[in-house]
Structure 1
Amino acid sequence: MSPSFHIPYILPTALLALALVLKFPTFLRASRDPDVRATTLLLTWATAVLVVITPVNIERLNVLTGIPNIAAPWAYSFLTAFCATGLTMIMRWREEPSERRRRRMRRVYWIYAGVIAALWLTFLLADVPTARIYDLDTYYAGTPWMREHILLYIAAHMVSSLVAVSMLWKWFPEVADRWLKSGVVFLQLGFASGLVFDAAKLAAISARWSGRDWDVLSTQAAPPFALLQAAFVALGFLVPQAGPFLQKWIRDQRDYRRLAPLWRAVRVLAPAAAQARFGWWAPLDLRLVQRQQRIHDALRVLTPYFDAALHRRARQAAQAVHGSRKAEGIAGAVTIRAAIDAHRSGGPPPAHPHAPHLGPVVSNHIEDIAAALHHPHTVEDVRRRAVTTESANSHA
């Protein structure tokens, strides 16, 4: 690998770091949730691996510590922790909570903790005085203890990838949720990329043992698959959690904006009780609930002022031009605007005998009314025609 290969590290590292930053508030709110903890750890280990293996950071670690090749045990330890966390997360997804599942997960953690301890031990026992940034695995492929150090991390990584691919392959047909199914696909791609990485590394090391130079497999062919694995696996664990959240956020954002005209129309009325004040930093779903509640409170205040005759004429006028689907919303918008004007005049509610019965009808079409208020000219046109019809009937 040459310095020109530094750039590909930036994108997956930045994506993983961004995912970790976005996940951190959830971790603070729900740090006791095992799935949240595991996802945060997975992103942490994956980000740490990519940060450490970036060539410029390998060189910095060598200089700062004064220990040649110290980046190797750090990077391989983070990679091993990443493998363990990935395996246990797949177990969490596939199996219902049970004592058997807990035992299996603890066994995975202990085995990979032992691998990490062995990685540091073999590195401390190895004699690796020459710093190698791009070709450490093949350069020291025949060095006692460092050879074991390299084979250990590759073996641990390969086993975890094989087990993960096998579990995911068996589980895929059983998955019904589309977000979870997408996550499984990303995970399969990720762990399959990891197997390609391992195969390229082992081929290059085996070639060194037999006196051939296949270093290009280790220095140029393998690294892109390591980057792909980190990105795909991170996506695999994030999509099933972020997908439903993003879907709900988009739906809430749409509803929040759709209700804006109706909310602006009724907020001229004094609320029945003191309203809690939420800033734009408050969760969107909380602000949506408050907006919906404010609208319903205002409609209860306006119910005695609803003019059933006006509502009927407005619906008939709207049906003639816009069809029955939009007519109910437009008629409701006309009725609410008239009720607001009557309420603000300060007098008692006029005698509208059917107003109490009209209240639920209007409340059940809030979204249609809000949609109609997005087109105030249409509402005003229907209101004028409804009033004209009333005048014509009264003269007749």
Structure 2
Amino acid sequence: MSLEDLRIPYVVPTVLLMAGLGLKSPTILRSWKDPNARATWFVLLFASAVFLSVAPSSIRRINTVTGVANFAAPWSYSLLTLFCGACLTMIITWREEPTARRRRRIQLIWFIYSGAVASLWVTFLRADVPVERVYDLDTYYANTPWMREHIVLYLLGYMVSALVAAWMIWTWIGRVRARWLRGGLVFLQAGYAFGLGFAVCKLIAIGARWTGRNWDTLSTDVAPLFALLGATLVATGFILPVLGPFLQTWPCDQAAFWVLKPLKNLIREVAPLSARARVSRFAPLDLRLMKRQQQIHDGLLRLAPFFDETLYERAYRVAADRHGETAARGVAGVIALRAAVDSYSSGTPREHAGGPAQISREVSDHLTAISRAMLRPDRVDRIRRQASTGCTPSHV
């Protein structure tokens, strides 16, 4: 396969779209009743399908597999038309509150674009297009009955959707305050501008054929550049509001989930007060993090009658002489919680006067520091020995 066949620029939007579809499909399918989830899935699905179909190598393969010359044309143009309808649906879903009016508008969009797809297939089946054209089908068959209408129909449908989408975004973007959504709309505006450039170049080249001129380079060389740039920007615009918040919180949630693992292991033998929720390891990260945090807090509640506040304060004072506030709270928490777990195992609670037993907020507010401190057992052991014997702190 040659570089010309592969057309490397097609890879960029395809990979971007497939990555977005793969990352978000599990979440979207779990929330299928949510109109935002459905709209997002259709946009990513149709956009991915378009770029998997329009690369020159894919066009040849589709024609070969079906045994019909130029079958890739109605196939790709239908996917592009459905993508246009999905884009308008997505913007309306973002822009308007759930109402009967919004539902009717979305239904009207799908009715119109489904009719356009049906018309594409009817015109193609009526046309006589026996010669396979991979790069210049639009201009080569610009004067062919029925194929001429087929080509103009998909271009006009694409142009109308781009103009309507750009207008809806233009009248709405000034009211948007959400950072990721506003950024996505900026990318969409730029993408639709390039998309209009694609359609205009194609229509000019086709119009030139109608008048006996040959301006095919606009269709075969210039228009694809507009299409690729526009599609990449549109793909980014739709993916950014969906994946942006996820990518912003995921690293922090992932770090918190793994940092808390040593502390969770320390108190896992302590029976929680509430029943354990069954959460799959493949569940969303935020749900697994919430479960881990809840298990730790439940364990702390059960350990409260066995927690030695005096030991905690003594260990903190020793650790504070050599470490910062957060690190000292972490080391002291490890020492006191390990002692509480031992007391819990032996069934010997401590005496607490003046109210129910509880663990101080200095402990519960520093769970991450406590869990991190458990990764330095040598430091914890030295401070524990000093806190137990009352020795003067030494360098640790």
TM-score range, shorter chain: 0.7 to 0.9
Q: Distance in 1 between matches of 2:97 and 2:280?
A: 40
* Aligned 1:120-139 pairs, distance under 5 A: 120-139=121-140
Residue aligning to 1:311: 312
User: Identical aligned pairs, as a percentage?
Assistant: 51
Offset, 1:124: 2.5
TM-score, normalised with respect to structure 2: 0.87
Residue aligning to 2:340: 339
* Aligned 1:132-171 pairs, distance under 5 A: 132-171=133-172
Q: How many residues align?
A: 391
Cα 1:260–1:65, aligned 2, differ >3 Å: closer, same or farther? closer
Residue aligning to 2:198: 197
Residue aligning to 1:369: 370
Cα deviations across residues 337-377 of structure 1 (Å, max 9, x unaligned)?
A: 22233444x26234465895661333343233223334333
* Aligned 1:1-396 pairs, distance under 5 A: 3-4=4-5, 6-269=7-270, 275=276, 280-344=281-345, 346=346, 348-351=348-351, 359-361=359-361, 362-389=363-390
Is the contact between residue 21 and residue 45 of structure 2 (CA under 8 Å) also seen in structure 1?
yes
Is the contact between residue 307 and residue 355 of structure 1 (CA under 8 Å) also seen in structure 2?
no
Cα 1:303–1:102, aligned 2, differ >3 Å: closer, same or farther? closer
Aligned to 1:124, what secondary structure does the other structure show?
helix
Cα deviations across residues 266-318 of structure 1 (Å, max 9, x unaligned)?
A: 23445567746655334333332332233223323332332222222222222
Cα 1:2–1:103, aligned 2, differ >3 Å: closer, same or farther? same
Q: Distance in 1 between matches of 2:101 and 2:272?
A: 56
TM-score, normalised with respect to structure 1: 0.87
Cα deviations across residues 238-264 of structure 1 (Å, max 9, x unaligned)?
A: 221222233343332222112122122
Comparing 152-161 and 310-319, the one that deviates more: 310-319
Q: Distance in 2 between matches of 1:364 and 1:354?
A: 23
Is the contact between residue 73 and residue 120 of structure 1 (CA under 8 Å) also seen in structure 2?
yes
Cα 1:197–1:288, aligned 2, differ >3 Å: closer, same or farther? same
Cα 1:169–1:210, aligned 2, differ >3 Å: closer, same or farther? same
Comparing 81-90 and 51-60, the one that deviates more: 51-60
Equivalent AA in structure 2 for residue 359 of structure 1: I
Q: Distance in 2 between matches of 1:274 and 1:94?
A: 41
Is the contact between residue 274 and residue 298 of structure 2 (CA under 8 Å) also seen in structure 1?
no
Comparing 160-169 and 304-313, the one that deviates more: 304-313
Q: Distance in 2 between matches of 1:33 and 1:272?
A: 34
Aligned to 1:359, what secondary structure does the other structure show?
coil
Cα deviations across residues 88-114 of structure 1 (Å, max 9, x unaligned)?
A: 211111122333333333332222223
Report the RMSD for the aligned CA atoms in angstroms.
Answer: 2.9
Equivalent AA in structure 1 for residue 360 of structure 2: P
Offset, 1:206: 2.7
Q: Distance in 2 between matches of 1:293 and 1:27?
A: 26
Q: Distance in 2 between matches of 1:68 and 1:318?
A: 79
Comparing 362-371 and 310-319, the one that deviates more: 362-371
Equivalent AA in structure 1 for residue 374 of structure 2: L
Is the contact between residue 326 and residue 366 of structure 2 (CA under 8 Å) also seen in structure 1?
no
Cα 1:51–1:324, aligned 2, differ >3 Å: closer, same or farther? closer
Structure 1: any 5+ residue segments left out of the alignment?
A: none
Aligned to 2:138, what secondary structure does the other structure show?
helix
Structure 2: any 5+ residue segments left out of the alignment?
A: none
Comparing 116-125 and 4-13, the one that deviates more: 4-13
Q: Distance in 2 between matches of 1:374 and 1:8?
A: 47
Q: Distance in 1 between matches of 2:274 and 2:181?
A: 43
Comparing 212-221 and 192-201, the one that deviates more: 212-221
Q: Distance in 1 between matches of 2:178 and 2:329?
A: 36
Is the contact between residue 330 and residue 379 of structure 1 (CA under 8 Å) also seen in structure 2?
yes
Cα 1:293–1:88, aligned 2, differ >3 Å: closer, same or farther? closer
Equivalent AA in structure 1 for residue 369 of structure 2: D
Is the contact between residue 308 and residue 358 of structure 1 (CA under 8 Å) also seen in structure 2?
no
Comparing 347-356 and 226-235, the one that deviates more: 347-356
Is the contact between residue 326 and residue 369 of structure 2 (CA under 8 Å) also seen in structure 1?
no
